[in-house]
Structure 1
């Protein structure tokens, strides 16, 4: 009897063991390979040569392009995620109301999410083309500009344009999360608030935002991870140019590995990105834990 009880206790672990080992291998093998390459001199063809220690890390941290790219990545992530939250909250509030054509409006708001990022970036690259782009054509017909603007030839213009496109493609997913949160809020609370004389702004700040906060936190974490590693928009539109003025870490990593033939340094950049994401996750979990304790 004891042996039977012991075997039944461990049988669930035996059942999940093959899947666990496979998942561990899939995750750990690339990680240890990158760590190994980051500590060695690697040829452009992937041949690992002598051990160099932290030389790859020293090289990237003394590279002014990397430091500028690191700063730009933080700006990109903060602006896209912040802009997405700011746009998605009122959009989800509008789409949660009961009005004629709400289903069509929700479908239209989801359209950017149904198109691949690469195709979206190609369409916007055409739209912002200096010679035949519809943006310049429309602005000239409205009399807002007198000559075509080189949107993607100037990093001071190209990067804000890419941030706006990043917000556009991130809003549908975030709106979906918020709509799910709003659907779980009882309407009786709003009716009671209106009877007590609460204004729409008071209902939003005292009822909607507190009840929507867990979903905002989920959207914040998922969007930070998603946007931080977002590759297609910047690479398709400007490939990090002009003059490395729109690179973020993921596009800079790609250029190091596959254009400049420096995979060891690219592996070091990928580990820096991993540490940054871990740091954000740890900070978020700590703040969330303090908030729950306070509540």
Structure 2
């Protein structure tokens, strides 16, 4: 007679209230957003009638949606990629024991304490074409001969905004990596140093493999954060000039609060949520599959 595995119900009952609370907090806005996206909504928020998928059809017919979508992908990949590449070496340096390490950590983390909107305002002032600090400094060092209008053209403005996005994302990502580095076993490093391993080999064969879980966490959290980030682009250029720096979140903000097209903006919000949800699930499944394959290879190797 086969023995039946009993599923413990006590832990499930204990987490049930928190699960229901989280689902109500997250689920209700999503359902309300889905309902709004299928309504004709006045600019004052009044429901005028059910229109089905008309708002989605208008979104997919709008060329600005596709250009904003492409720009959102570029923005997210560039900011997240640049942040990871810069933050990991910074975290490794801050993890070493040196005189003034505490002060160095405070300096790196300090921008995290400043409002993102205020940071964007400061950069907008600094990048002003006539009276900006950046132009004044570059001209004092004779690097440029005349002021540069950093935010006057879309390609240059978007590049500058990506660099600012990387800058403001470094403290959070560095914190994640510092937590991971502090938990790594030191025995592996000591053994590798005894065997004559060089710093690059220590990083490639010990640090990087052991930091993969923390890198995966940083990727997921940063993608979600950067994909939905409004303040930098909105404060610096408001998606201009000529919608040349618009990403999806600034595009829907304009539709909702400048043009009063709340139904269409709700449809874009739902599309953005779907994209992030699919990305998160796909990335987590990919990471789990890689870990499972690695475990299988280790078992085969040991056998």
TM-score between both structures, scaled by the size of structure 2: 0.91
Structure 2 unmatched runs, 5+: 1-7, 295-303
Q: What is residue 294 of structure 1 aligned with on the other side?
A: 293
Is 1:146 paired with 2:159? no
Q: Distance in 1 between matches of 2:190 and 2:17?
A: 53
Q: What is residue 249 of structure 1 aligned with on the other side?
A: 248
Q: Distance in 1 between matches of 2:15 and 2:206?
A: 43
Residues 116-195 of structure 1: matches in 2 within 5 Å?
116-195=115-194
Secondary structure (helix, strand or coil) at the match of 2:146 reads coil
Q: What is residue 27 of structure 1 aligned with on the other side?
A: 26
Q: CA RMSD in A?
A: 1.6
Secondary structure (helix, strand or coil) at the match of 2:40 reads strand
Q: What is residue 72 of structure 2 aligned with on the other side?
A: 73
Q: Compare 162-171 and 283-292 and name the one that shifted more.
A: 283-292
Secondary structure (helix, strand or coil) at the match of 1:46 reads coil
Q: Distance in 2 between matches of 1:144 and 1:61?
A: 45
Q: Distance in 2 between matches of 1:108 and 1:17?
A: 42
Secondary structure (helix, strand or coil) at the match of 2:49 reads strand
Q: What is residue 212 of structure 1 aligned with on the other side?
A: 211
Q: Compare 126-135 and 23-32 and name the one that shifted more.
A: 23-32
Q: Distance in 2 between matches of 1:285 and 1:188?
A: 30
Q: What is residue 5 of structure 1 aligned with on the other side?
A: none
Q: What is residue 279 of structure 2 aligned with on the other side?
A: 280
Shift of 1:24: 3.0
Shift of 1:114: 0.8
Residues 29-44 of structure 1: matches in 2 within 5 Å?
29-44=28-43
Q: What is residue 3 of structure 1 aligned with on the other side?
A: none
Deviation readout 1:113-139 (Å, 9 max, x if unpaired): 110101100110110011111101111
Shift of 1:54: 1.3
Structure 1 unmatched runs, 5+: 1-8
Q: Compare 178-187 and 75-84 and name the one that shifted more.
A: 178-187
Q: Distance in 1 between matches of 2:221 and 2:50?
A: 37
Deviation readout 1:226-285 (Å, 9 max, x if unpaired): 111111111111111110011111111111000011000000000110110011012102
Q: Compare 19-28 and 100-109 and name the one that shifted more.
A: 19-28
Residues 2-17 of structure 1: matches in 2 within 5 Å?
none
Q: What is residue 90 of structure 2 aligned with on the other side?
A: 91
Secondary structure (helix, strand or coil) at the match of 1:53 reads coil
Deviation readout 1:196-250 (Å, 9 max, x if unpaired): 1111111110000001111001101000001111111111111111100111111
Q: Distance in 1 between matches of 2:88 and 2:155?
A: 28
Residues 219-258 of structure 1: matches in 2 within 5 Å?
219-258=218-257
Residues 37-76 of structure 1: matches in 2 within 5 Å?
37-76=36-75
Q: Distance in 2 between matches of 1:222 and 1:141?
A: 40
TM-score between both structures, scaled by the size of structure 1: 0.93
Aligned residues: 287
CA distance 1:74–1:105, change in 2 (3 Å) = same
Deviation readout 1:139-187 (Å, 9 max, x if unpaired): 1112221211111111111111111111111111111111111111122
Shift of 1:59: 0.8
